[in-house]
Amino acid sequence: MSPAPVKLRADQPDAPLTGLALLRSPFPANQISKLPKPYKKDSPKGKCAECGGYHGLPAVHLDYVGHAALTDRLLDADPTWTWEPVADPASLGLPTAAGGMWIKLTVAGVSRYGFGHPDGKQGGDAVKEVIGDALRNAAMRFGAALDLWHKGDLHAIEAEDEVAEQKAASKAPAPNTTKGAEAPKPPTLAERANRLEAALKAQTTADALRKAYGLASGLCADLDLKDPERLAEIERLYETRFAELSEPAPKEDFGISDDEIPF
């Protein structure tokens, strides 16, 4: 095994990255997945407007690189990349946790440790999760998808909130919103809450209501910290509106819908 030193040639700035430098370069958008994190464990599930998935709403979405994309990148960086479990991590001074596994990931002749844990999964799924998690963790030590880890941990809620603000505002303008392009001022928490309230009142279907609420997960998180009473008000409004909009429509006499009528 000879290390493959990375040489970025100054005379060939466009030369493709290889080895460890390739591992470190940002992932393209089509290889980045969205991991929904419902704001509450018992959030009602619904079709998510942001990722198209079906999960608890509202939720923040964390960017991450899935196993297939990461493996693809490892192979591109070094077709002979390999990993092995660390047999006795405690003897190396590594902290251990039940169900977890330390691995040694070797790419282009360089080895780094990573730790994986099953994240609540059971049986065979737990084993796969442990391996995948350890690979992600070790690959991060090589800089793979480092920007995502950073953003996911530090700025996810802020970014989500901005998107929610824009979408909620464009869908259901608050009563005192004026037309025209005035210099945008950052809205206060109370203003943002008022906008969400207006958006929840304006929706006409349960699905749209869920979407509008789902897009405001960042705002809900802020309210939870700074104004839980206002959050409780908004939650009650959401529940009331959801119940209103979820009432089944009166049954048709014929039991068939318009587009099924055969004449």
Residues 196-204: contacts with CB under 8 Å, at least 24 apart = 196/168, 196/234, 197/233, 197/234, 197/237, 198/172, 198/173, 198/174, 199/168, 199/171, 199/172, 200/234, 200/237, 200/238, 200/241, 201/172, 201/237, 201/241, 202/171, 202/172, 203/172, 203/241, 203/245, 204/245
CA distance 124 to 168: 42
CB of 211 to Zn ion, least distance (A): 10
Using the minimum distance from each CB to Zn ion, give the nearer residue, 73 or 211: 211
Using the minimum distance from each CB to Zn ion, give the nearer residue, 50 or 165: 50
Using the minimum distance from each CB to Zn ion, give the nearer residue, 50 or 78: 50
CB of 49 to Zn ion, least distance (A): 8
Tokens of 20: 């460890």
CB of 3 to Zn ion, least distance (A): 42
Instruction: Decide if residue 189 touches Zn ion (CB under 5 A).
Output: no
Site track for Zn ion across 24-43, x = CB under 5 A: ------------x-------
Q: Report CA-CA distances (Å) from 120 to 4, 98, 136, 167, 237.
A: 38, 11, 17, 34, 34
Q: Which of residues 48-107 bind Zn ion (CB under 5 A)?
A: 48, 50-51, 53
Number of Cβ within 10 Å of residue 185's Cβ equals: 7
CA distance 156 to 148: 10
CB of 105 to Zn ion, least distance (A): 30
Using the minimum distance from each CB to Zn ion, give the nearer residue, 49 or 131: 49
Using the minimum distance from each CB to Zn ion, give the nearer residue, 34 or 104: 34
Q: Identify which range of 46-54, 79-87, 108-116, 185-193 contacts Zn ion by CB under 5 A.
A: 46-54
Contacts of 34 (CB under 8 A, 6+ apart): 50, 51, 53, 61, 62, 63, 64
CB of 166 to Zn ion, least distance (A): 17
Size of site (CB under 5 A) for Zn ion: 5
CB of 60 to Zn ion, least distance (A): 9
Task: Measure the CA angle with vertex 38, ends 32 and 44; round to 5°.
Answer: 130
Q: What is the CA radius of gyration of the chain?
A: 25
Using the minimum distance from each CB to Zn ion, give the nearer residue, 36 or 114: 36
CB of 144 to Zn ion, least distance (A): 24
Using the minimum distance from each CB to Zn ion, give the nearer residue, 35 or 245: 35
Binding site for Zn ion (CB under 5 A): 36, 48, 50-51, 53
